[in-house]
Amino acid sequence: MMSILNDISENLQRGKAKVVKELVQQAIDQGISAKEILEDGLLAGMSVVGEKFKNNEVFVPEVLVAARAMNMGTALLKPLLAGDGVESHGKVVLGTIKGDLHDIGKNLVKMMMEGKGLEVIDLGTDVAPEKYVEVAKNEGCQIIACSSLLTTTMGMMEDVVKAAEAAGIRDQVKIMVGGAPVTDEFCKKIGADKYTADAASAADAALELCEAMA
Amino acid sequence: MTGKEQLFATLRHEVTERASWVPFAGVHAGALIGADATQVLTDEDTLFKSLMEVNRLYRPDGQPVVFDLQLEAEILGCDLAWAKDGPPSVASHPLADTMTVPCKCKLPKPNQGRLPLVLSVMRRMKEAVGETTALYGLICGPFTLASHLRGNDLFMDMYDDEDYVNDLLAFCTECGKLMSDYFIEAGMDVIAVVDPLVSQISTSHFEDFLSGPYTELFDHIRSKGVFSSFFVCGDAARNIEAMCQTSPDSVSVDENVDIITAKAITDKYDVVIGGNIPLTSIMLHGTQQDNMKYAVDLLAQLPEYKNFILAPGCDMPYAVPVENTIGVAQAALETESVRKMVENYISDTFNIDVQLPDYEHLERPLVEVCTLDSATCAACTYMMGAAVAAKERFGTEIDMVEYKFTEKENIVRFKMMGVKSLPSIYINGQLKFSSVIPSSEELDAAIKEML
Amino acid sequence: MELYLITGFLGAGKTTLLRNFIRLFSQKRVYLIINEFGKAGIDGTLLQELDAAMAEINNGSIFCSCRLDQFEAVLHQVTEASPDVVLVEASGLSDPTNIQKILANPDFSGISYRGSICLIDACRFCRVVETARMCRKQVAVSSLALVNKIDLASEEQREEVKNLLLEINPGITIQETSFGNFLPEWLELVQPQPQPQLDEALASQDITLQKACVLFSAETTLTQLKGFLTLVGEETYRMKGFVQTTEGLYLVDCVSSAIQLSPYEETVSEEEVGKLVLLAGKGMQLRKSIKQAKAWYGEVIKEVQYGS
């Protein structure tokens, strides 16, 4: 049983989506629980990819194909997971800030967070500050995560913090910020909660924050 | 030796007396004349005027004529989202849901998109400053152009359909060659291939997909008798060696790369390296002191001025304070004197008694011109020139004095006065003009207020 | 010398229209310039039955302005023969404004441009106009829009097509027909139009057009060929060519997923046999579907070339 989960993880790391899909089906047929396949197979593999990405051992293309393989696997598991008592570890609303159309980094964050078992609502790019807050409020997200790649748009992140205050949910959500020009200092200055330098660290931090809030 | 000769010597790998200096003032050029980024990139006269101001104030050895990686993409059908304080972004990728390689007949022609504007400004710049300043023509690198056309799926294609990626990159390489030809024909001395996305892939992917196209591109540029440069952004450290193997004359990196470590690699291939003053932390948010210090510290790490160009990490942010770039320019052009200024500023242990004038009880208006050194710093020369002209107009009605930062005494003085940026003009102890040179009307009006 | 232009998107039925249209000039010396896609050159072969001189532009300006030189060369050749009427069938995806540009050349001052007919597929027009920018240009330069295949279209579709045509070109005259029939009185509706002022969307490049050429071996069975066409058809505008199957030579002539295969009796030049040309546009997964089809029928597919 362990070996097939290992195979899933290995193949996911190499982005072999078809093989991953076949192996997940085999594992299901062998009677392994969806929860185990998810956590010890798919998520374990994605976590290795995240670690390697953080250490500059793999790069954007490798992460994208690994994430695609993970999605192929989770698609098979979804109908089974509901019955298996697997709960989401937390809920995140994510997007690139208004005025900014960069999405590679934001997409990586999404994949890494999903790889940690978090539920992610992706608002895409060019997202107005109020929009994050509205979705967070309506969907009960614990985390708002904003990305900015431009020095000219990063200032807009402060408006997200203000919008959360205005909506009266500032104490119910943690606000995370990231992107090339963003720094920890900037995060503190605008009153956000957490800055991380890369996608994998963002996912780790988000999970930690969710667990702390649970 | 003109700036152009200086830069050419560097690009020929010769040892020079100082480091070459190339400010990447793209949309920032507009800030010098009060034009926004969109105006700079869409209006011919605005662009020309901005670039002339860059040339005047920053005294570059080389300067880019336009810094916009979306020029080709726009012609090929990408929608652009324009901004007032930055270059446009690509808002749609025509090949996002359509895996095809365009016919070569779709390659940009000189009458399409903004090319007529760009080519015309190149010719005007060549005419105006081409004798003394080397001009850079910037083209979008094949990988970034392919991603503009195809979107993020390009990364996935690298696994799913290598042939397609190779074919699309071949198209984008043809585009690069053609753009180089247009730019060279319009008088550009250096063709810089700008490919920020190169930092996002592994070395083996670079070698599989990009070594061929880049070698071809640089061979082409070389065959046309001009210099080439390979610009990347982001942490491209691991790919520097593979980049050198494609034989550009120079590479340019940003602050994510340790340039001294990278230079050990580029030196091995006798390739020039340029960079890497941090765009945000230093140029945009730092003080003039920070900028001068950063530049002289960086230059101090070089055993000799060979195979090195001092430059911002990439396209400068629109709102970089003018005095910061002036500071870096001065550090490049007058490295030794700036090094001393910085040392003196930091040590501050000398005990000089400076008496500031009694600004409240002056007999007549006092115009104080604070400069790095009006003899060597272009912007300071112009600022001083403006003040001298005013003094001639007003005669004995006013007093006028220059304080140079090169003198220890003035370091103390500037600290006491709270001077943050140079050059600047104070009238009766109040800051009136900073970095941007006032017109004679503006300066006269400010003086008359005090009469 | 009069020149008429017949435009219309791929599969609208231009070849059939041309056959009917040419009869209006039975007393005159007519020269056809067929400008249809690919080396298959089928339309040329089919039109030989009509008693008219014909020049063919092969592998020519399908999508692009890149082979306009070919059109120009052919036009020179045609003017030397000085016919009374020249009919140009513009390829289904080509840019008709280019042709007018060429006619402006003083070399062709002996040609009187009589205007352009735009043939419209009543069932597909509203869909293709969304993805293929060239459609709009073809409508914009024409004085007469002939809405074909109304026997297959619903009342709503016909209404929708008319509204859309008028939106693109408010001055256009619309006539409806089936089977490419052309009534003699419509000829006077064909008039030269001033060059339309094209808005920005029309002026910028369309790089989404796709072309593939698939080479089949003579070992292909009819079932395999049908299977291939079924798998791939959905992702194309048009598939055309001659394929030698184990059951004889077949003409493939499909519009999207509507598969049309017929045994072909006449002779076809050797180099055309086995070549199937596929044309597709924005959003169509041509490469992927061919790749998939190759997995199934790889043994009879000798080669696939992509180009545009």
Chains contacting chain B through 3 or more C-beta pairs under 8 A: A, C
> Looking at residue B240, what is its pLDDT?
97
Q: How confident is the model at residue B218 (pLDDT cuts 50, 70, 90)?
A: very high
Same domain for A42 and A107, yes or no, is: no
d(CA B164, CA A116) in angstroms, rounded, equals: 33
Q: State the smallest CA–CA distance between residue B81 and chain A in angstroms.
A: 9
> Looking at residue A196, what is its pLDDT?
94
Residues of B with CB under 8 A from a CB of A: 81, 83, 85-86, 89-91, 152, 155-156, 158-159, 200-202, 205, 234-235, 238, 279-281, 284, 317-319
Same domain for A114 and A69, yes or no, is: no
Would the pLDDT of C133 be above 80? no
Please give the full DSSP string across B387-415, using - where no structure is assigned: HHHHHHHHGGGSEEEEEETTSHHHHHHHH
Interface B–C counts its CB contacts (< 8 A) at 64
Q: How confident is the model at residue B105 (pLDDT cuts 50, 70, 90)?
A: confident
Same domain for A108 and A184, yes or no, is: yes
Task: Tell if the CB–CB gap between B76 and C287 is shorter than 8 Å.
Answer: no
Same domain for A111 and A18, yes or no, is: no
The upper half-sphere exposure of residue C242, i.e. CA atoms within 13 Å in the direction of its Cβ, equals 21
How many Cβ atoms from other residues are within 10 Å of residue C171's Cβ? 12
Q: In chain C, what percentage of residues exceed pLDDT 70? A: 86
Would the pLDDT of B321 be above 60? yes
pLDDT in tens, A51-80: 898 888 999 899 999 989 998 998 898 888
**Residues of CATH 3.40.30.10 domain(s) within chain B?**
359-450
Fold of B359-450: Glutaredoxin (3.40.30)
Domain boundary among A36, A65, A84: A84
Q: How confident is the model at residue C39 (pLDDT cuts 50, 70, 90)?
A: very low
Q: Which of residues 31-60 of A touch B (CB under 8 A)?
A: 56, 58-60
Same domain for A70 and A111, yes or no, is: no
3-state secondary structure string across B14-41? CEECCCEECCCCCCHHHHCCCCCHHHHH
ipTM for the predicted complex: 0.79
3-state DSSP assignment of residue B69? coil
Q: State the smallest CA–CA distance between residue B317 and chain C in angstroms.
A: 30
pLDDT in tens, C268-295: 788 888 889 898 888 899 999 999 999 9
Q: What angle do CA B138, B144, B145 make, to 5 degrees?
A: 80
Same domain for A123 and A43, yes or no, is: no
> Looking at residue C40, what is its pLDDT?
41
Q: How confident is the model at residue B13 (pLDDT cuts 50, 70, 90)?
A: very high
> Looking at residue C27, what is its pLDDT?
79
B-C interface (Cβ pairs under 8 Å ≥ 3): yes
> Looking at residue C196, what is its pLDDT?
61
Interval C48-75 mean pLDDT: 67
Smallest CA–CA distance from A181 into chain B, residue: B280
Cβ of residue A197 closer than 8 Å to a chain B Cβ: no
3-state DSSP assignment of residue C21? helix
Same domain for A203 and A185, yes or no, is: yes
Q: Which residues of B touch A148 (CB under 8 A)?
A: none
Backbone Cα Rg of chain B: 24
> Looking at residue A115, what is its pLDDT?
85
> Looking at residue A1, what is its pLDDT?
56
Task: Tell if the CB–CB gap between A152 and B317 is shorter than 8 Å.
Answer: yes
Q: How confident is the model at residue C202 (pLDDT cuts 50, 70, 90)?
A: very low
pLDDT in tens, B256-266: 899 999 999 99
Interval B407-419 mean pLDDT: 88
Mean pLDDT of chain C: 83
Q: Which residues of B touch A183 (CB under 8 A)?
A: 281
Task: Tell if the CB–CB gap between B235 and A56 is shorter than 8 Å.
Answer: yes
Same domain for A18 and A78, yes or no, is: yes
3-state DSSP assignment of residue A162? helix
> Looking at residue C62, what is its pLDDT?
47
More confident of the two residues A153 and B188: B188
d(CA B67, CA B111) in angstroms, rounded, equals: 19
- B19-23, B193-197, C144-148, C192-196, range with the lowest pLDDT: C192-196
Task: Tell if the CB–CB gap between A59 and B201 is shorter than 8 Å.
Answer: yes
Closest CA to A88 of A134, A122, A41, A121: A121
Please give the CATH number for the structural domain made up of B3-342.
3.20.20.210
Same domain for A39 and A69, yes or no, is: yes
Mean pLDDT of chain B: 94
Residue with tokens 């790069």: A59
> Looking at residue C38, what is its pLDDT?
36
Looking at residue C115, the DSSP 8-state letter turns out to be E
The alpha carbon of residue B389 and the mean position of all alpha carbons in its chain are separated, in whole angstroms, by: 31
Interface A–B counts its CB contacts (< 8 A) at 54
Q: In chain B, what percentage of residues exceed pLDDT 90? A: 81
d(CA A115, CA B43) in angstroms, rounded, equals: 47
Looking at residue C258, the DSSP 8-state letter turns out to be B
Hey, where are the domains in chain C?
Answer: 2-203, 210-307
Q: State the smallest CA–CA distance between residue B303 and chain A in angstroms.
A: 30
pLDDT in tens, C157-198: 999 999 999 998 888 999 999 998 999 999 999 888 776 655
The alpha carbon of residue A19 and the mean position of all alpha carbons in its chain are separated, in whole angstroms, by: 23
**Residues ≥6 apart with Cβ < 8 Å to B427:** B365, B366, B367, B368, B446, B447, B450
The alpha carbon of residue B364 and the mean position of all alpha carbons in its chain are separated, in whole angstroms, by: 41
Domain boundary among A49, A67, A84: A84
Q: How confident is the model at residue C201 (pLDDT cuts 50, 70, 90)?
A: very low
Q: Quick check: C219 and C300 in contact, CB under 8 A? A: yes
d(CA B121, CA B307) in angstroms, rounded, equals: 29
Would the pLDDT of A175 be above 80? yes
More confident of the two residues B304 and C38: B304
> Looking at residue B142, what is its pLDDT?
98
> Looking at residue C77, what is its pLDDT?
87
Q: State the smallest CA–CA distance between residue C293 and chain B in angstroms.
A: 15
pTM of the complete model: 0.85
Would the pLDDT of C203 be above 70? no
Domain boundary among A34, A59, A84: A84
Q: How confident is the model at residue C238 (pLDDT cuts 50, 70, 90)?
A: confident
Q: In chain A, what percentage of residues exceed pLDDT 70? A: 96
B-interface mutation test, from C61, C207, C208, C279, most B Cβ less than 10 A away: C207
A-B interface (Cβ pairs under 8 Å ≥ 3): yes
* Architecture per CATH, C210-307: 2-Layer Sandwich (3.30)
The upper half-sphere exposure of residue B437, i.e. CA atoms within 13 Å in the direction of its Cβ, equals 23
- A118-122, C65-69, C220-224, range with the lowest pLDDT: C65-69
Mean pLDDT of chain A: 90
Regarding beta strands B20-21 and B308-312, do their DSSP bridges make them parallel or antiparallel, or are they unpaired? parallel
Task: Tell if the CB–CB gap between B100 and C286 is shorter than 8 Å.
Answer: yes
Smallest CA–CA distance from C288 into chain B, residue: B99
Q: Where are the alpha helices (DSSP H) in chain A?
A: 2-13, 17-29, 34-36, 44-54, 60-81, 104-115, 129-139, 157-166, 184-189, 199-213
Q: How confident is the model at residue B305 (pLDDT cuts 50, 70, 90)?
A: very high
Task: Tell if the CB–CB gap between C207 and B76 is shorter than 8 Å.
Answer: yes
pLDDT in tens, B359-403: 999 999 999 999 998 888 888 988 999 999 999 999 999 999 999
Same domain for A142 and A172, yes or no, is: yes
As assigned by CATH, the class of the C2-203 domain is alpha beta
Same domain for A138 and A184, yes or no, is: yes
The domain containing residue A10 runs over which residues?
A: 2-84
Q: State the smallest CA–CA distance between residue C235 and chain B in angstroms.
A: 11
Q: What is the CATH number of the domain that holds A122?
A: 3.40.50.280
**Residues of CATH 3.20.20.210 domain(s) within chain B?**
3-342
> Looking at residue B181, what is its pLDDT?
98
**Amino acid, res. C217:** S
C-A interface (Cβ pairs under 8 Å ≥ 3): no
Same domain for A197 and A123, yes or no, is: yes
Q: Which of residues 85-144 of A touch B (CB under 8 A)?
A: 99-104, 107, 126
